[in-house]
Structure 1
């Protein structure tokens, strides 16, 4: 026993080195998976530049197709995470990635608006559970005080997807049209749907469900990592489903859901309308649109890392989140008045990216702080799926308002209003948590 205690003490002295080891093992693989996830989800925004006429889509019907992705996503998010709790992250991530790769490739076969709508629903069902599943997975490896940075590293994949996805999509759209009788947007879906199949299988060999399962860690390292995790309010007699039902009775869970609902509205503008905004500002070449669409993500990534680092140093999440969504809302309004200048439009999109990416990374440090380990899988999936109702409503309403008014102004103001409401909701959680502590 003495020898074991000495071993743990030695490992604790090497704590920073050990966490670097864990980060290098887990984060790059998860990062690449999420890059592909995001590219497969938003490459429709580039395909739209050419397939809109082929399929007979208007801005409103395109917005409907974008939003229908979240029907399947919302329906299967919670079941997927409850299954993850039983079978582990490795098998869950493999299943999700293989399914979404196949359906993304099948998008190349759509010929009518109805087929487009169906494919988007199926793609959402296939991808359901990936993001909240990874959030839960990371909480099983990293303690509270590290999660601002860790979530930032993970969410950085959104920026990377926007940075590399735009130019790659632009190149495919520019040069592959007509090859083997396929149109450029068909090649886009085929090429960007292949890699998830390989990585899904690789997940079985690269990932381990918990520190205790990792053969690349010594026994002392496994025990050290497990001991550092903050697990509160556990009731081992409850199943994961029972714990989830109990969590639904917490007002904090519903308030947090409203906060995440708002963030998805900013993501809708950045991920699905940025190419159109750049094009309407005066950039007509599709390759240039793809290249310029990467700029906001690069700037947004840098801003997000600063937010995450500062939040960890101050151990404060709620006001950091509020500042992020306020910046995103202000940028959304500014975009509507900047379409006369490509440079100004890009600057506004960059501010929107900083606010959006920072808000996503910071948000997930908040519910993981008040949920127990057994409550987390179902509850985090619930927040994600209910919040994604915003991703269903936002593009439909934004596209409808744009069609009716002939500009983006009213739609941008609506986005900003929702963001400001979500920011206020999350700040209210801070006082709610203080009240709960004082009562206990």
Structure 2
């Protein structure tokens, strides 16, 4: 009798009703609150894309100033992400997330007071400093609760917050900009930053009060349920894997960690260029009403939410990340290229953008599912943060490059080509850099079956 493929054995184990019930219980405890927290974080990060439509009319900002300010966030993020995650591994997720969310809420709200380019740069930098560690911290937190075979869908659900945030951001930001402009003597963009910054502080306290750091500390899991979780980790199988007992210092000497960071650099640089640029792009398609720009921007994101969860689930089922990622970035590039063929056709452009967003939204969860499998438990805290922080330099650079492209050419098509190239580079590099674990032989956990 031929042995079953490893991913089939693992899938069968995870489909056991009692195992599914335990992880479903964990899902409902962790994911809703963390999803909302990340949605607020994402809104505070990207609402500048909508605010700048008004800020450039009331402040001495042009596209180059805006591009540099948008990118300053990621410089602060880069500098403080690794220290934040190493601290989380020592003091726990609850305390770390509380500190992060309160401080970033204050910085996000303070954006309403900027009046010069220098102030704009400083507050955006501080927002990055304070928010640093939230995303890699939650990904690290998931490695405490979910074996790698369940992480693709879980990370996709969590990261759907970015797409839901984009879906909500369009109508919400457009509404505030249009209807609050002039209320109480403030511009619409000032109300925008205040209304979307303060909720982070409240949610930070909820995270601290309602979550637990690890499964063995959860009073809502029985002894039997905790044993199910422990058994799932004991029999985990990884699609790609580094040294099982590697440390953070050993990871610093691993070339593949830096290749993963470069993949993320290209991926995130392209994605945030799109995020910051989409309102302006839609405006260039002949839509002038700010509220309508927000509505149209939300349509592709609705498609992205569905696509990323289905693709994440499919990736878990087959326990394959590399080719799923590569296909997603190709979908993104093809969708963006198609928008260039629909110049003057608003409906066609929006539909093509929806195709692109399916690929864009799905790629990042797959990347972090793969990365969390590659890193050993000892290297996960610092490794996830290091790869994320180096990758976050991409959005620090790419919006400025895009701003210069727009300034020198005056044509959105060249910006589209720039973003497409970044996506295709990320997919090609990942396929070349990472080999599946099955090529090198299955990890010891597989033989336990």
Q: Calculate the TM-score normalised by the size of structure 2.
A: 0.90
Give 5+ residue unaligned stretches, structure 2. 1-15, 445-449
Check the 8 A contact 2:22/2:228 in 1, yes or no. no
- Residues of 1 paired with 2:315 and 2:82: CA distance? 29
Mapped to 2, the partners of 1:102 and 1:410 lie a distance apart of: 37
* Structure 2 Cα separation of the partners of residues 439 and 274 of structure 1: 43
Q: What residue number does 1:7 align with?
A: none
Shift of 1:435: 5.7
Q: CA RMSD in A?
A: 2.0
The 3 A distance-change label for structure 1 pair 159 and 438 is closer
Residues 212 and 223, structure 1, Cα contact 8 Å, conserved in 2: no
Q: What CA distance in whole angstroms lies between the structure 1 residues aligned with 2:337 and 2:399?
A: 16
1:42 maps to which of 46, 55, 61: 46
The within-5 A match list for 1:410-429 is: 410-429=414-433
**1:330 corresponding residue in structure 2:** 334
Aligned-pair CA distance for 1:421: 1.6
1:215 to 210, 216, 219: 219
Aligned to 1:120: 124
How far residue 436 of structure 1 moved from its aligned partner, in angstroms, is 4.6
1:294 and 2:294 are equivalent in the alignment: no
Specify the alignment match of 2:188 in structure 1. 184
Q: Which stretch has the larger CA shift, 274-283 or 250-259?
A: 250-259
CA distance in structure 2 between the partners assigned to 1:269 and 1:389 by the alignment = 12
Select which of 395, 401, 412 maps to 1:397: 401
| C-alpha deviation, 1:216, in angstroms | 1.1
Picking from 199, 203, 211, the partner of 2:207 is 203
Measured in 1, the distance between the counterparts of 2:442 and 2:159 equals: 34
Match of 2:276 in 1: 272
Query: For each residue in 1:115-148, what CA deviation from the matched residue of structure 2 results, as whole angstroms up to 9, or x when unmatched?
Result: 1111110111111000011111111111111111
Could you tell me which residue of structure 1 aligns to residue 230 of structure 2? 226
> Matched residues in 2 for 1:301 and 1:339: separation?
26
Change (3 A) 1:60 1:345: farther
Report the Cα offset of residue 377 of structure 1. Answer: 0.9
Aligned to 1:9: none
**1:251-302 Cα deviation digits (max 9, x unpaired):** 2212211221121133123311111111110111111111111111101111
State the shift of 1:430 in Å: 4.0
Alignment of 1:95 onto 2:95: no
| Whole-Å separation in 2 of the counterparts to 1:256 and 1:343 | 37
Q: 1:439 to 1:333 in 2, by over 3 A?
A: same
After superposition, where does 1:20-419 map in structure 2 within 5 Å?
20-229=24-233, 235=245, 243-419=247-423
TM-score, structure 1 as length reference: 0.92
4+ residue runs of structure 1 moved beyond 6 angstroms?
none
CA distance in 1, matches of 2:329, 2:187: 39
Task: Report whether the alignment pairs 1:16 with 2:20.
Answer: yes
Number of residue pairs aligned between Structure 1 and Structure 2: 424
Q: Deviations over 1:199-231 (max 9, x none)?
A: 101111111110011111112212321231257
Once the two structures are TM-superposed, the CA of residue 426 in structure 1 deviates from its matched residue by 1.1
Q: Secondary structure at the match of 1:215?
A: coil
Separation in structure 2 between the aligned mates of residue 356 and residue 278 of structure 1, nearest angstrom? 18
Q: Partners in 2 of 1:112 and 1:286 — Cα distance?
A: 23
Contact 1:337 1:409 in 2 (8 A): no
Aligned-residue offset at 1:30 = 0.4
**Residues 302 and 168 of structure 1, relative CA distance in 2, 3 Å threshold:** same
Which segment drifts farther, 260-269 or 28-37?
260-269
Other structure's SS at 1:253 match: helix
Contact 1:140 1:229 in 2 (8 A): no
